[in-house]
Amino acid sequence: MAIDGLDGRLIVLLAEEPRIGVLEMSRRLGVARGTVQARLDRLQSNGVIRGFGPQVDPTALGYPVTAFATLQIRQGQGVDVRAHLATVPEVLELHTTTGGGDMLCRLVARSNADLQRVIDRVVGFDGIVRASTAIVMENPVPLRIIPLVEQAAKDTGRGD
């Protein structure tokens, strides 16, 4: 779905101030409350805005170690491996991939020693043949979406 300049400004404002109300958004954006509400509803129904929940920092929860595990799985075991990994709370993300592995997991742990426990739980499933793990040293560019939103809004060529 293409977004325009007003959609982009709305998303940026919501990202900067997630607790802002629709009326205040409309005031700041200089458009009617109904316009803001309609835009929010459309962005949600089209899957552009997926939620309004809090952003939680695993480190603040006591999980300061992050790692990525590339998994090779047995052919035909994808569904079962996904189901297994969904039961491991320390698996924050799972992607199926091309290349040297079949799946890529983002994992967190309480310490390096705890990471071994998490990895053992991840790979302790018959459908996983091999795992290769890389520990994250730092995260100089954390997950960010706003620059992409701004670019997508520019790409439409409409400032709305």
* CATH architecture of the domain with residue range 58-135: 2-Layer Sandwich (3.30)
Q: Side chain identity at 123, as an amino acid letter?
A: V
Pairing of strands 103-109, 128-135: unpaired
Closest by Cα among 107, 97, 111, 109 to 133: 107
Helix (H, G, I), strand (E, B) or coil at 109: strand
Q: Which pTM does this prediction carry?
A: 0.85
Give the pLDDT of residue 114: 98
Domain ranges in the chain are 5-54, 58-135
Please determine, for residue 159, whether its predicted confidence score (pLDDT) is greater than 70. no
More confident residue, 157 or 124: 124
Which of the listed CATH numbers 3.40.50.150, 1.10.540.10, 1.10.10.1200, 1.10.10.10 matches domain 5-54? 1.10.10.10
Give the pLDDT of residue 132: 97
